Structure 1
Amino acid sequence: MNFIRSLTLRQLQIFVIASRCPSFARAAEELHLTQPAVSMQIRQLEEAIGLPLFERVARKLALTEAGERLSHHASRILGEIKDAEDAMMSLTQADSGSIAVSIVSSATYFAPKLLALYSQQYPKVDVHFSVGNRETLLRLLQDNATDLAIMGRPPPELGTTAEPLAYHPHVIIAPLSHPLRHARRFDLQELAGDTFLLREPGSGTRGVVEHMFRQHLFVPARSVTLGSNETIKQAVMAGLGVSLISLHTLALELRTGEIALLDVNGTPIERTWQLVHSRSKQLSPTCLVFRRFLLEHAAPFLEREYAQFALRPPKGSERIGGGTAADAGPSR
């Protein structure tokens, strides 16, 4: 049968209402139509199907077997349409729905706290986090598999829109037993004999430290690659070496006094957290509200959390707009 192609939503709506009423006259009242208009729509529906949908039993309308089956399917169809309308309405109201956000691993130390603040205001919104290094986020942006990404320097090879969220200092950490723990403003070359603990290739933090090495013509005596910020921090505390790492990953260790910040010339290396999305992506109203929330709250939150640990910024890193002069290098 090809009758489905000739059905209209209006016919299904009239049929479902009529199937619940004892007469076409009562259905017409509920639909604010005339009885002949209801009868005509039902007749056209029956002609399209090729089967009677109603019969008279004791002077009342009753559904035939075909009518019973069609009533079930018609109610489901109209229910799905109502669900779709509700879903679209929720998007326009920006207080429900879902958002996909991808973050580099260094952002896991503060992004969940911002999400908790956001969820207090918008409890019906479901935010999905995915975590990876910079290369992973680039793939997600390229594949249009994420709405927003929190990362460092936006990828020049992709068509993206990037907005600065907050300053992101990188600092050199060492074990508490390091001989230069209390030294002030010494050169990076003083650490030439130390083992440097590095993140994996493809990580933004790895890019920052390699850029620093090039700038200072620095070659460490030895380097060891480790796969996460947590592993690096544990290795530093164990006395295995020193490392350049995001200040925003160190709140716990600095508060408990388990790790030392070295006051090296040229540090902290100022970078900027960026909120990035594909230029071709149409952000939903819910996503736009979340974006605005992050832009308004991220910087004040991070400044409150880490102000007590901030070192003096290096000379030549004047803040320009959403970043610093040092932002020309690689990012997280």
Structure 2
Amino acid sequence: MNYTLHQLQIFLKISELQSITKASEELHLTQPAVSIQLKNFQDQFPIPLTEVVGRRLFITDFGIEIAQAAEKILGQVQEINHKTVAYQGKLSGRLKISVVSTGKYVMPYFLSDFMKEHDGVELSMDVTNKTKVVRSLERNEVDFALVSVLPEKLQVYGVELMPNKLFYVSNYQRNFPKSFSKRHLFEKIPLIYREQGSATRNAMESFISHHHFTVNKKMELTSNEAVKQAVISGLGCSIMPLIGIKNALKNQELKIVPIRGLPIITNWNLIWLKSKNLSPAALAFLDYVSRNKENIIKEKFNWIKDF
């Protein structure tokens, strides 16, 4: 047998996602490239690793065992790499962070200089909705999570980073009556929501429920960027985090509609399980954030105070 580490990585990802298409997207490879590597890997075994039933890909029992072995091999290779770097006197290891989708506008700025200082540290950052972020933390799959609303059922430590402000926004061209009520905005204009499990959606629904509004027409989209583009196009209005619409406001694509009771203000928090034994890389990052957060906020996010 003459399979490569690259083939092991590809097959492991296919087995995790049960899809060549999804694996190619996560690995940033073309679908044909992944298919070719899967075939080359399969050709080295006399027993099928996968099977297709009703146009769906399934991993065979033998394939599951090979995937488990591949995971162990790749883990040992990673350990060798980390030990080599550590022997050279550098900080090494993998830093794993799960970030709520709007947090992608925040977290990179707290990571950039740290990663430059410690090139032996590998970064794995998953961007998803709050429900999945909390699940990853609960299952001990990540070192840290970035959330704007603290989970109620988990025992966590946290570092408060900066405010998260949510405003009612429309596209710049939309005209409103000279005098309009909040009820008009929520009952007459289509409202665009994030998907279930999103902290932004939870905040929006809480605000609407508190004011006893009825939303007659709504749409649901699965990312902050998709909501932003939908509002810019004139499909409707939404309550959106300020952090993700800075350029759209500057370019007069969006405008904030002043409403009493808004903005909704929460705080970005970097959290970790109280029971978590943080790795040297995670401890170093936590120390870096604690020492540098004020300077990072001042340099990168001072504009938030203008709203």
Report the TM-score when normalising by structure 1.
0.62
The CA distance in 1 between the partners of 2:136 and 2:262, in whole Å, is: 32
Check conservation: 1:173, 1:243, Cα contact below 8 A. Answer: yes
Partner of 1:136: 132
Q: Offset at 1:110?
A: 2.6
Deviations 1:206-259 (A, max 9, x none): 101011112222222311111111111111011111101111111221232211
Please give the per-residue CA displacement for 1:301-322, whole angstroms capped at 9, x wherever unaligned: 345445445565xxxxxxxxxx
Structure-2 change in CA distance of 1:187 and 1:200 (3 Å): same
Distance 1:306 1:191 in 2: 30
CA 1:294–1:188 in 2, change beyond 3 Å: closer, same or farther?
A: farther
Give SS of 2:256's match. Answer: strand
2:86 equivalent to 1:120: no
Query: Which residue pairs with 1:269 in the alignment?
Result: 264
Q: 1:109 aligns with which of 96, 105, 110?
A: 105
For 1:88 and 1:279, the matched residues in 2 are separated by: 30
Q: 1:223, 1:298 → 2: CA distance?
A: 38
Q: Classify 1:187/1:292 alpha carbon distance in 2 versus 1 (closer, same or farther; 3 Å).
A: farther
- Where 1:248 maps in the other structure, the secondary structure is helix
Structure 2 Cα separation of the partners of residues 269 and 188 of structure 1: 15
Q: Structure 1 142/235 Cα, relative in aligned 2: closer, same or farther at 3 Å?
A: same
C-alpha distance after superposition, 1:25-83 (max 9, x if no partner)? xxxxxxxxxxxxxxxxxxxxxxxxxxxxxxxxxxxxxxxxxxxxxxxxxxxxxxx9xx8
- What SS class does the counterpart of residue 260 from structure 2 fall into? coil
SS of the residue 1:163 aligns to: strand
State which structure, 1 or 2, has the greater radius of gyration over its C-alpha atoms.
Answer: 1
Which consecutive unaligned segments of at least 5 residues does structure 2 have?
1-75
| Corresponding residue number in structure 2 for 1:252 | 247
Q: Secondary structure at the match of 2:262?
A: coil
Residue 127 of structure 1 deviates from its aligned partner by 1.4
Q: Matched residues in 2 for 1:94 and 1:206: separation? A: 42
Name structure 1 gaps, 5 residues minimum. Answer: 1-79, 313-332
State the alpha-carbon separation in 2 of the partners of residues 224 and 263 from structure 1.
Answer: 22
Instruction: State the Cα distance separating 1:265 from its structure 2 match.
Output: 1.2
Length, aligned pairs only: 228
Root-mean-square deviation (CA, aligned residues, Å) is 2.9
Q: Is the 8 A contact 1:161 1:279 kept in 2?
A: yes
Amino acid at match of 1:269: I
1:137 is aligned with what amino acid?
V
Q: Contact (CA 8 Å) 2:109, 2:300: kept in 1 or not?
A: no
Q: Percent identity?
A: 25
**1:164 touches 1:275 (CA, 8 Å); kept in 2?**
yes
